């Protein structure tokens, strides 16, 4: 959610200068000072600040005690951006005349513009109190600057009504309405913030930042139209890198990576040196599986912010996801050194160790993560799996049970618990766990096969038959499920159906064996082809086809041999057979041979 601190827009500096003459005596220098003062006022009226500065500086030289001269010169210097010099002149004026409201307001504005809100606030407060006592209203610009000073020091509750008063005085000022909405949003007053942002858009429909802010408020209210406002902001400001970045980040944080990606890509183009833009784009690419594109962007962000734990964690995990865990581990170790209480860093380092089969190290990291986040069902589940990989069922079961208790909706802990119970022969314990897992996640053919086996062990034959038939429906080529179903049919005194299932299982096992032989022969053929041994490669590819005539890679290899031998016709035939075999393998499998009771 993007709600920045109030924007420091430069407001017109109010110079409330009395036109009274400076003559306190009839000396020549005072007459000259009076003339210079009037010349300065005339220059101000026509907008010539440099001429006004020159005239008021002459006033101060001619009559150093003239409070109006210091006040006017200070106001002009501040307007010209010469804040230190302007502040000194205004301080001099106020020392001479503490009741000079013009000097007081201008000094408060100068402090506010220089970022010294602590010194500006008392002056604004006194100015407002004096105005109310005199039943007059401060100009909106003064109120706005006062509110901005309060907000910059965290006094949002005090700033809001003052800024609201300024907004009521200038209802058509879209930027002022947007600032008021930002204050309300920072206080989580969503209805008031929405009203102010909509007022800003009504006043200026093409104000991109107001659409951006309105989208964030709608998102906070979980309204479905938030994305439309963000996208409108991006469309209105296509060359504003900051807005493109905020829109893309907001979309990404709301789970809309597909829409965020092109906007973040544009933000990165507009802000090529921004580590934030690079990192956010990389994170979206990482979530979408585009790791080769994400890693250089993470590296770019890390070069600008080498001690940023989040970037280190994401980069380390990206390498792990790309099956390069060894490259990712140093980044994850650095992240932990910088942020030892970051549970995600420990968890991702554990994943990298598991990929390298360093299970003991993974267990250590998962334990460290659980100390930091003991109520994480994911961490308990991962630690349970790591213990299972160590064949340590006694340690795995309590962790999996904790994961199941913390997140009853997750099916994975129940499934693994059921598998462990099955392996240990605890069939009565395995049954409810597998049933629970399959109820939550029924598209698990292997799970149905295991549940069928459990039912069979418990002599619950109808349930076993039903579970195994579902396993075969999902995995028609799984020979184990056919063999288990054959055993159940025999126990149910259905010998014909049992024989049919055993025949199917035998055929599947032969097919699997032939496929493995074809795979080995094809690998050998590819190696020989790479060495230029065409005749020997062709023999291996033909052997593979002899084992499995539908093995597409073998036909492709033989086509490559024929192509290099100049036998174009045979090459085309083998390429066609490869395509036909690949299409057949990709088509949905059927199980028409599976008999029904």
Indicate whether 334 pLDDT > 90.
Answer: yes
Q: Please report whether residue 116 resides in a domain.
A: yes
Q: What are the C-alpha distances in Å from 327 to residues 312, 321, 330, 356?
A: 12, 11, 7, 11
Residue with tokens 């795979």: 519
Rounded Cα distance between 422 and 362, Å, is 25
Indicate whether 13 pLDDT > 90.
Answer: no
Which whole number is the average pLDDT over 568-576? Answer: 84
Band (22; pLDDT cuts 50, 70, 90): very low
Indicate whether 23 pLDDT > 70.
Answer: no
The pLDDT, as a whole number, for residue 1 is 54
The pLDDT, as a whole number, for residue 316 is 97
> Which tens digit of pLDDT belongs to each residue from 452-507?
999 999 999 999 999 999 999 999 988 899 999 999 999 999 999 999 999 998 88
Indicate whether 119 pLDDT > 60.
Answer: yes
Q: Please report whether residue 525 resides in a domain.
A: yes
The pLDDT, as a whole number, for residue 587 is 58
Q: Please report whether residue 527 resides in a domain.
A: yes
Residue-range definition of the domain harbouring residue 519: 497-597
Band (161; pLDDT cuts 50, 70, 90): very high
Band (547; pLDDT cuts 50, 70, 90): confident
Instruction: Compute the mean pLDDT over every residue in the chain, rounded to the nearest whole number.
Output: 89
Band (576; pLDDT cuts 50, 70, 90): confident
Which whole number is the average pLDDT over 522-527? Answer: 91
Which whole number is the average pLDDT over 239-260? Answer: 96
Q: Please report whether residue 205 resides in a domain.
A: no
Which whole number is the average pLDDT over 123-136? Answer: 90
Residue with tokens 């010469």: 82
Which whole number is the average pLDDT over 572-577? Answer: 85
Long-range contacts of 184-192 (CB under 8 A, 24+ apart): 184/160, 185/3, 185/213, 185/216, 185/217, 185/220, 186/3, 186/151, 186/156, 187/156, 187/157, 187/160, 188/220, 190/217, 190/220, 190/221
Indicate whether 560 pLDDT > 70.
Answer: yes
More confident residue, 299 or 13: 299
Indicate whether 541 pLDDT > 80.
Answer: yes
Q: Please report whether residue 37 resides in a domain.
A: yes
The pLDDT, as a whole number, for residue 586 is 60
Contact present, 328 and 315 (Cβ < 8 Å): yes
Q: Please report whether residue 273 resides in a domain.
A: no
CATH number at residue 593: 1.25.40.10
Indicate whether 24 pLDDT > 60.
Answer: no
Contact present, 213 and 3 (Cβ < 8 Å): yes
The pLDDT, as a whole number, for residue 172 is 94
Rounded Cα distance between 279 and 320, Å, is 17
- Among 152, 182, 210, the domain boundary falls at 152
Q: Please report whether residue 457 resides in a domain.
A: no
**Tokens (6 digits) for 108:** 């408060």
> Which tens digit of pLDDT belongs to each residue from 37-60?
999 899 988 989 999 999 999 988
What's phi and psi for 81, nearest 5 deg?
90, 5
**Tokens (6 digits) for 312:** 């280190």
Indicate whether 6 pLDDT > 50.
Answer: no
**What total number of domains does the chain contain?**
2
Does residue 134 sit in helix, strand or coil? Answer: coil
Angle, vertex CA 332, rays to CA 329 and CA 333, nearest 5: 85
CA 589 and chain centroid, separation: 39
Which whole number is the average pLDDT over 578-596? Answer: 57
> Which tens digit of pLDDT belongs to each residue from 177-188?
999 999 999 999
Q: Please report whether residue 583 resides in a domain.
A: yes
pTM score, two decimals?
Answer: 0.73
Band (27; pLDDT cuts 50, 70, 90): low
Q: What are the C-alpha distances in Å from 202 to residues 7, 180, 182, 183, 206?
A: 20, 15, 16, 19, 9
- Among 129, 152, 175, the domain boundary falls at 152
* Other residues' Cβ atoms within 10 Å of the Cβ of residue 514: 17
Indicate whether 4 pLDDT > 60.
Answer: no
> Which tens digit of pLDDT belongs to each residue from 341-390?
999 999 999 999 999 999 999 999 999 999 999 999 999 999 999 999 99
């Amino acid at each position: 959610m993007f709600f920045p601190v109030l924007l420091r827009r430069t407001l017109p500096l109010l110079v409330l200068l009395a036109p009274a003459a400076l003559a306190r005596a009839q000396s020549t220098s005072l007459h000259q000072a009076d003339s210079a003062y009037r010349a300065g006022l005339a220059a101000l009226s026509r907008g010539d600040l440099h001429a006004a500065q020159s005239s008021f500086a002459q006033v101060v030289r001619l009559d150093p005690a003239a409070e109006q001269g210091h006040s006017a010169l200070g106001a002009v210097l501040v307007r010209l951006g010469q804040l230190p010099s302007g502040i000194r002149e205004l301080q001099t004026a106020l020392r001479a005349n503490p009741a000079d409201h013009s000097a007081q307001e201008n000094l408060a504005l100068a402090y506010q513009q220089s970022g010294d809100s602590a010194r500006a606030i008392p002056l604004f407060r006194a100015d407002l109190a004096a105005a109310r006592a005199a039943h007059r209203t401060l100009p909106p610009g003064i109120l706005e600057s006062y509110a901005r000073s309060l907000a910059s020091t965290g006094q949002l509750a005090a700033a809001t009504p003052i800024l609201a008063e300024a907004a009521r005085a200038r209802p058509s000022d879209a930027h002022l309405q947007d600032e008021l909405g930002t204050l309300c949003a920072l206080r989580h007053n969503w209805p008031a913030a929405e009203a102010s942002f909509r007022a800003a858009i009504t006043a200026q429909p093409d104000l991109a930042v107001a659409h951006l802010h309105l989208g964030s408020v709608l998102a906070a209210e979980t309204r479905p139209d938030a994305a439309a406002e963000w996208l409108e902001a991006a469309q209105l400001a296509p060359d504003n890198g900051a807005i493109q970045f905020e829109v893309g980040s907001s979309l990404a944080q709301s789970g809309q990576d597909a829409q965020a990606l092109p906007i973040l890509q544009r933000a990165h183009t507009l802000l090529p040196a921004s580590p934030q833009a690079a990192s956010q784009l990389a994170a979206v690419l990482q979530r979408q599986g585009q790791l080769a594109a994400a890693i250089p962007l993470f590296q770019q962000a890390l070069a600008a912010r080498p001690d940023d734990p989040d970037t280190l964690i994401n980069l380390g995990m990206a390498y792990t996801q790309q099956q390069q865990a060894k490259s990712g581990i140093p980044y994850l170790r650095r992240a932990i050194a910088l942020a030892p209480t970051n549970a995600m860093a420990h968890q991702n380092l554990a994943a990298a160790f598991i990929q390298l089969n360093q299970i003991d190290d993974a267990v250590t990291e998962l334990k460290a993560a659980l100390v930091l986040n003991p109520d994480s069902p994911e961490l308990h589940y991962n630690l349970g799996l790591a213990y299972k990989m160590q064949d340590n069922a006694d340690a795995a079961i309590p962790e999996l049970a904790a994961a199941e208790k913390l997140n009853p909706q997750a099916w994975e802990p129940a499934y693994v618990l059921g598998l462990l119970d099955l392996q240990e022969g605890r069939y009565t314990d395995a049954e409810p766990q597998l049933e629970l897992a399959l109820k939550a996640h029924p598209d698990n053919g292997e799970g149905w096969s295991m549940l069928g086996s459990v039912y069979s062990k418990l002599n619950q034959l109808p349930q076993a038959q039903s579970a195994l038939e579902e396993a075969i429906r999902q995995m028609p080529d799984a020979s184990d499920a056919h063999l288990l179903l054959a055993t159940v049919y025999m126990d149910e005194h259905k010998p014909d159906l049992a024989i049919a299932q055993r025949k199917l299982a035998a055929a599947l096992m032969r097919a699997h064996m032939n496929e493995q032989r074809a795979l080995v022969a094809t690998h050998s053929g590819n190696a020989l082809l790479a060495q230029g041994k065409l005749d020997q490669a062709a023999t291996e590819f033909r052997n593979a086809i002899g084992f499995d005539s539908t093995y597409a890679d073998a036909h492709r290899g033989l086509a490559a041999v024929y192509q290099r031998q100049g036998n174009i016709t045979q090459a085309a035939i083998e390429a066609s057979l490869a395509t036909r075999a690949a299409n057949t393998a990709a088509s949905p499998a059927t199980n028409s041979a599976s008999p029904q009771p």
